[in-house]
Amino acid sequence: MSVIGKIGFLGGGNMAKALAKGFLAAGKLISNKLLPLEGLKCTRFAGLAKPSTLIASVHPADKLSLQSFQSLGVETVIHNAPVVEKSDVVFISVKPQVVPSVLSEIESISAGKLFLSVAMGITLPTLESNLSPQARVIRVMPNLPAVVRSGCSVFVRGTRANNSDAEITQKLLQSVGTCEAVDESQLDVVTALSGSGPAYVFVMIEALADGAVQMGMPRDLAYRLASQTVLGAGHMVRDSGLHPGQLKDGVTSPAGSTAAALRQLELSGFRAAVSGAVEQATLRCRQISGKNA
């Protein structure tokens, strides 16, 4: 079993905070002898992370992120070098436009470290060519629900990353949700689907609740019912193995209320709007990474 060691975060944004909180939550579940995610063994996450095994660099102007990490008991610094020097695994979690300057800053101290980059559109060749030849790199794309250990993550190994590095990456990401290996050519689509996807679902939950409120339901109840409905439907698609259309038909009675609602969705271009959102997000990712559509 590969040892993770100390985990560092270059940048203290939303994804870094979500992962840190998720890693710490996984460790607390073990220490309290509670069950982790369904289908995963307790021993898998034993000793995964505690505040003393995390460190993050946060821009001094980002008071909110600084306070958030400090509230977790995590060591915070304002410079990137201490994070790399003290860590075995380093998450590159700064904004894409900042990555080149960060890599330039840490290149001389990057040898022997495992870097996990969550930076959108920054390719493996770019990352590897701007770090020490002895640094190992893996691109990862988690999503925000990692904060509640329901994340959806993928990863791509760099040319120097070994099996132990992949095992560490899987162990970390599976502690906060699901994790799959993919080809780097799929990462822009992954970013558009599961990376940005929670935002689309949040809008859908808000719209469902708005409709219920318009028809007389209290808003707090509407949010609870809408969010649980989305959660349950997602579980059914994931776990049943049935086509979503087949599950949809199981809810839809002839001339019933669901049939009327689905007709309204079709007339409003619901499918095209959602699939178009994924397409536009993918194109934007490709634009950032310098690819052609």
- The C-alpha atoms of residue 160 and residue 172 are separated, in whole angstroms, by 19
Query: From residue 138, how far is each of 52, 93, 126, 182, 209 by CA, in Å?
Result: 24, 13, 12, 11, 39
Predicted confidence (pLDDT) per residue in 66-113, tens digit: 999 999 999 999 999 999 999 999 999 999 899 999 999 999 999 999
Statement: residue 292 has pLDDT above 50? no
Predicted confidence (pLDDT) per residue in 112-154, tens digit: 999 999 998 899 999 999 999 999 999 999 999 998 989 999 9
Task: Record the tokens describing residue 43, joined without a space.
Answer: 């021993």
pTM, full prediction: 0.86
Beta bridge partners of residue 56, listed in sequence order: 9, 76
